[in-house]
């Protein structure tokens, strides 16, 4: 039994057949999108390199903005942090590209008022990326439209930034043409914002650790100075992993009061440095302190 063949598709008489110009235009558009996606990939790669080498938060954010211009080929890039004042201002931290006084001229907030309805404020407030495909005709871009168009901004994307799972601000990028952010580019930029947030969190964690270590060193220095000047004898021990208390220090008063050169005991366990009956006299006062690693 013969299988019926598929009927040929009948062209719609209301639609003109595609021309060479149509085909060429579509191919050109695909090429442009591919180029922008490739630039976004290089942008993402360069950002990850910067995350490994930049030592401070300010330098990192400035580097990201500069990479956005040099490699991403965006018109302008800036990072703003959300202020928790009454007006909920967005404070510019850094920028690169054709800024030309824009951030000083305009007012941007993340409040619910008219100054918080733009891409940056909305991204911070809602914790979602916000795309403005056509700044010239966007309904909610009124407060900034004139200043933006005067600087060649035609489209934008705002990406929320996080530290410890809290939105702290946004990275905003401007394009020089409308409708330039394809789905592929958007996905890459969202990934980039996540990497930048991770880098900022890591930097702040490192700074907190450095401050804590500095405070601990200063505390130990002060304690050592007090012990050195004390009129009473003092010993310092260290608790080792095997449970031994090891003699690691003493103050001048200990030598003076006991008439003993304690330097010869450095590195010995309490049993070796002070054998019975001396050890029995020491153990009662040292055992509670030894649990914390050191005894004085």
pTM: 0.68
Which of 144, 171, 206 is the last residue in one of the domains? Answer: 206
**Residue 26 falls within a domain, yes or no?**
no
**Residue 36 falls within a domain, yes or no?**
yes
**Residue 117 falls within a domain, yes or no?**
yes
Contact, 145 vs 155, CB < 8 A?
no
**Residue 11 falls within a domain, yes or no?**
no
Tell me the C-alpha distance between 122 and 110, whole Å: 6
The answer to whether residues 264 and 194 belong to one domain is: no
Exposed / middle / buried, residue 269 (Cβ in 10 Å: 0-12, 13-18, 19+)? middle
Tell me the C-alpha distance between 160 and 121, whole Å: 9
**Residue 221 falls within a domain, yes or no?**
no
DSSP symbol at 55: -
pLDDT by 10s per residue, the chain, length 296:
454 544 444 444 444 555 555 555 676 766 767 777 777 788 878 877 877 777 788 999 999 999 999 999 999 999 999 999 999 999 999 999 999 999 999 999 999 999 999 999 999 999 999 999 999 999 899 999 999 999 999 999 999 999 988 999 999 999 999 999 988 889 989 999 998 998 888 888 888 888 888 988 898 889 888 888 888 888 888 888 888 899 888 888 888 888 888 888 898 888 887 776 555 545 444 444 433 444 44
* 3-state SS assignment for residue 85: coil
* 3-state SS assignment for residue 90: strand
The answer to whether residues 103 and 243 belong to one domain is: no
Q: Which domain holds residue 258?
A: 227-295
Domains identified in the chain, total number = 2
The answer to whether residues 149 and 264 belong to one domain is: no
- Helix then strand count (H, E) for the chain reads 9, 8
Tell me the C-alpha distance between 141 and 56, whole Å: 34
């Amino acid at each position: 039994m013969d299988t019926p063949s598929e009927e040929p598709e009948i062209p719609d008489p209301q639609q003109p057949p595609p021309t060479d110009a149509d085909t060429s235009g579509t191919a050109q558009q695909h090429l442009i999108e591919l180029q922008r996606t490739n630039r976004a990939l290089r942008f993402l790669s360069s950002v990850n390199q910067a995350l490994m080498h930049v030592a401070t938060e300010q330098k990192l954010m400035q580097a990201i903005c500069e990479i956005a211009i040099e490699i991403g080929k965006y018109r302008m890039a800036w990072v703003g942090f959300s202020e928790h004042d009454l007006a909920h201002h967005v404070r510019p931290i850094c920028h690169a590209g054709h800024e030309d006084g824009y951030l000083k001229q305009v007012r941007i907030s993340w409040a619910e008022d008219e100054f918080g309805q733009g891409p940056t404020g909305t991204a911070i407030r809602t914790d979602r990326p916000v795309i403005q495909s056509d700044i010239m005709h966007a309904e909610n871009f009124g407060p900034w439209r004139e200043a933006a168009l005067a600087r060649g901004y035609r489209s934008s994307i705002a990406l929320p930034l996080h530290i410890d799972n809290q939105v702290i601000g946004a990275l905003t990028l401007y394009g020089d043409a409308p409708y330039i952010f394809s789905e592929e580019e958007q996905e890459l930029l969202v990934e980039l914002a996540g990497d930048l947030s991770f880098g900022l969190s890591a930097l702040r964690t490192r700074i907190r650790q450095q401050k804590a270590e500095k405070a601990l060193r200063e505390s130990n220095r002060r304690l050592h100075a007090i012990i050195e000047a004390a009129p009473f004898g003092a010993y310092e021990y260290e608790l080792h992993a095997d449970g031994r208390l090891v003699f690691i220090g003493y103050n001048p008063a200990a030598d003076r009061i006991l008439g003993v050169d304690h330097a010869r005991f450095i590195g010995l366990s309490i049993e070796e440095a002070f054998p019975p009956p001396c050890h029995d006299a020491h153990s009662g006062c040292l055992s509670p302190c030894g649990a914390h690693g050191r005894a004085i």
